[in-house]
């Protein structure tokens, strides 16, 4: 198996055998699965953040550039909805990316009261480069899984996302 520039290991979470007795109404397997999904997500995001440092970008900045590269000009509110961040956070992020020449704010031709955010040629170049790096790393991180297992994982994660998104009972 190839080696990859990643965190050396991710601690696995295993709960005690008496979990279900100690926490009636809970589920050892559910809690253990959920905690391991969160732990894996945190480790993955830490790896992404580290890989983006040479680009002087945060994961959120990389996502903004990628969204603009894929979808063209978007309003700041559409970007904040897409990235699930507050408008204030998005404003600071856009200010930072604009100062570095990665994007610009332009008048919205359909509504003169609003602005659109568009990627610059330099920002598009950075987006293309960072996505090559990130996508290659993702392939390496998931190399232990077969393509069939990856599809199963995605299907199961979608089911989990549906459960998490459901209103509380």
SS3 20: helix
What confidence tier does 6 reach under pLDDT thresholds 50, 70, 90? Answer: very low
Domain that holds residue 103: 30-139
Residue 19 is assigned to a structural domain of this protein: no
Query: For every residue of 43-110, which 3-state class applies, written as one string?
Result: HHHHHHHHHHHHHCCCHHHHHHHHHHHHHCCECHHHHHHHHCCCHHHHHHHHHHHHHCCCEEEEEECC
Placement of tokens 């009972």 in the chain: 169
What domain count does the chain have? Answer: 1
Residue 113 counted as domain residue: yes
Residue 150 lies in a domain: no
CATH number of residue 76's parent domain: 1.10.10.10
Whole-structure pTM value: 0.82
168: in domain: no
Q: What is the pLDDT of residues 56-113, one digit of tens each?
A: 999 999 999 999 999 999 999 999 998 888 889 999 999 999 999 999 999 999 998 9
Flag whether 24 is in a domain. Answer: no
Q: Is residue 130 part of a domain?
A: yes
| DSSP state, residue 14 | -
Q: Whose CA is closest to 64, among 149, 8, 110, 127? A: 127
């Amino acid at each position: 198996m190839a080696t990859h520039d990643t965190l050396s290991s991710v601690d696995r979470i295993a709960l005690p055998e008496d979990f279900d007795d100690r926490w009636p109404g809970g589920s050892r397997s559910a809690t253990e699965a959920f905690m391991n999904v969160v732990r894996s997500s945190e480790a993955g995001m830490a790896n992404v953040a580290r890989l983006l440092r040479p680009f002087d970008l945060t994961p959120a900045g990389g996502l903004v550039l990628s969204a603009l590269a894929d979808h063209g000009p978007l309003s700041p509110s559409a970007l904040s909805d897409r990235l699930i961040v507050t408008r204030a956070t998005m404003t600071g992020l856009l200010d930072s990316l604009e100062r570095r020449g990665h994007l610009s704010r332009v008048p919205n031709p359909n509504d003169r009261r609003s602005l659109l955010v568009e990627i610059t040629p330099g920002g598009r170049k950075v987006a293309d480069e960072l996505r090559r790096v990130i996508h290659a790393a993702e392939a390496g991180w998931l190399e232990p899984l077969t393509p069939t297992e990856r599809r199963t994982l995605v299907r199961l994660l979608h089911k989990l996302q549906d459960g998490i998104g459901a209103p509380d009972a």
